[in-house]
Structures are given as structure tokens and as C-alpha cells.
Amino acid sequence: EIVLTQSPGTLSLSPGERATLSCRASQSISSIYLAWYQQKPGQAPRLLIYGASSRATGIPDRFSGSGSGTDFTLTISRLEPEDFAVYYCQQYGVSPRTFGQGTKVEIK
Amino acid sequence: QVQLVQSGAEVKKPGASVKVSCKPSGYSFTDYYLHWVRQAPGQGLEWMGWINPDSDGTKYAQQFQGRVTMTRDTSITTAYMELSGLTSDDTAVYYCARATYSSYHDYWGQGTLVTVSS
């Protein structure tokens, strides 16, 4: 099983700041099989990024993804109030599909 | 528009079984696999398995083997996830989410809260 480790666990930032979230895999994965999701309290996860760097439909361009091999990054260039949430990475290339434990982006 | 609508909240006693439904709309039922993901209170996301509505094929995460059964009824375009031998550790929100075979989950159901309590 591929273990995904996200860091930091919590990121305390102010609106307008840049957020950088990390996802590290226990073994190399093809970048086409790495996704990022956003989840707000009481809601289902929402797809943000797939294939490590492709934005899903309707996702603002302040969200960007990068990385390859075992190290992947989600960047939010300028935090908007609606971006404070929990973010999960997921690999879907190898069964079982696995998620990281999540990074909470909270208002400082 | 694509929607996945799940059944309502359930309260079950330890040792019981629960069956959650997921009814997609806005696309052809057999074109996408349906996955089940659960989330315990305050915890992260845990993938449980998938069903291929076209072939009825299934694949389950090892930790749920023998306890989970995923089925579908093509006549009413609905998928089901049944979990047996419930314990308090199974208290969680259960989501269905669609994906093609090796693809991401682009649409999710609203979630079904299953509470296991004596």
C-alpha cells in the first residue's frame, strides 16, 4: 500500500497569503495518478487538481499543483476567505487507492 | 448536471448490518465505476472499494474484505454498499464517488452518516 504523508498538519495563514501544502508518497507514483481535494465542514470532498497539475472544472487559477515521483505540492497563490478548509491528496494509480491524512488551512 | 444522491442517516446496533444506497443522475450509469469512501468523525478519508456497474465487478480494500458487499441494480440505476458486523469504529460518514477505472473522483454523493451505538 502506498502511504501518503501530508505536511504540515495545520497551516495558519491570513487571507491574501500564499499557502504551500506538501504530499509525500512512500514510493514513486506516476504524476497522472495524483489528485488534490478540498473539504469544508459538513461537505463532501471537492476535486481541485488531478494528474498532479490539472485544475478541475471551475477551479480558480490561484490553485496550482506540481511535483513528480514521491513529492507533490498544492499551492494556493493568494488565500481567499472561502479557501480555509482541509485539503487531501490521493493516489489512484495503485490499488488500494490511498489518501493523505489531510492538511488544515486555518485563519491566523 | 451530474448528481449522486445517497440514502439518509442510519443508526445501528453493534453487530448489525447497514446498507447505503447511491443513485447517480446526469450521466450513463454504466460509464463510471462507483467507489465508496468513509470518514470517521474528525478523521481523514478512507477508501473502501469500488463496483463496476457495467460488469458488476467489485474490488474491496483488504481491511473490509468479508464485511463489505457492493452491489448495483441497473433497472433503477442505483448502487449499494452493505457493511456487516458493525462496531463503534464503523461510525462514519459514507460517501459514494464516481471515477473511471484509473481516474480521480470528480463527483461525490452528499454522504450518509452511519452511527453505531448500543
Reported as a single tens digit per residue, the pLDDT across A49-107 is 999 999 999 999 999 999 999 999 999 999 999 999 999 999 999 999 999 999 999 99
Say which residue the cell 491570513 belongs to.
A14
What is the interface size between A and B, counted as CB pairs within 8 Å?
53
pLDDT computed for residue B102 by the predictor: 83
C-alpha cell at B31: 460509464
Residue B49: closest CA among B9, B93, B97? B97
β-strand B10-12 against B92-99: which pairing, if any?
A: unpaired
What residues in B contact A101, CB-CB < 8 Å? 44
Give the separation between CA A90 and CA A82, rounded to whole angstroms. 22
Closest partner CB to A35 (pick from B35, B61, B104): B104
Summarize the confidence of residues B106-113 as an average pLDDT. Answer: 98
What residues in A contact B111, CB-CB < 8 Å? 44
pLDDT band at residue B101, thresholds of 50, 70 and 90?
A: confident
Say which residue the cell 474528525 belongs to.
B42
Contact B65, A58 (CB under 8 A): no
Residue of B nearest to A40 (CA): B42
Question: How many percent of chain B have pLDDT more than 90?
Answer: 97
What residues in B contact A102, CB-CB < 8 Å? 44-45
Cβ-count burial A33-58 (b if 16+ within 10 Å, e if not): bbbbbbbeeeebbbbbbbebbebbee
Top-confidence residue, B100 or B20:
B20
Chain B within 8 Å of A103 (Cβ-Cβ)? Answer: no
What residues in A contact B110, CB-CB < 8 Å? 44
Reported as a single tens digit per residue, the pLDDT across A13-56 is 999 999 999 999 999 999 899 999 999 999 999 999 999 999 99
pLDDT computed for residue A18 by the predictor: 98
pLDDT band at residue B36, thresholds of 50, 70 and 90?
A: very high
pLDDT computed for residue B100 by the predictor: 87
Q: Across all residues in chain B, what is the average pLDDT? A: 97
Chain B within 8 Å of A97 (Cβ-Cβ)? Answer: yes
pLDDT computed for residue A2 by the predictor: 97
Residue A60: is the preceding peptide bond cis (ω within 30°)? no
Question: How many percent of chain B have pLDDT more than 70?
Answer: 100
Give the separation between CA A21 and CA A65, rounded to whole angstroms. 10
Evaluate if residue B39 carries a pLDDT over 90: yes
Chain B within 8 Å of A84 (Cβ-Cβ)? Answer: no
What residues in A contact B45, CB-CB < 8 Å? 37, 45, 88, 90, 99, 102
Contact B61, B83 (CB under 8 A): no
Reported as a single tens digit per residue, the pLDDT across B52-64 is 999 999 999 999 9
DSSP-derived secondary structure for A3-27: -EEEE-SEEEE-TT--EEEEEEEEE
Evaluate if residue B105 carries a pLDDT over 90: yes
CA distance B15 to chain A (A): 26
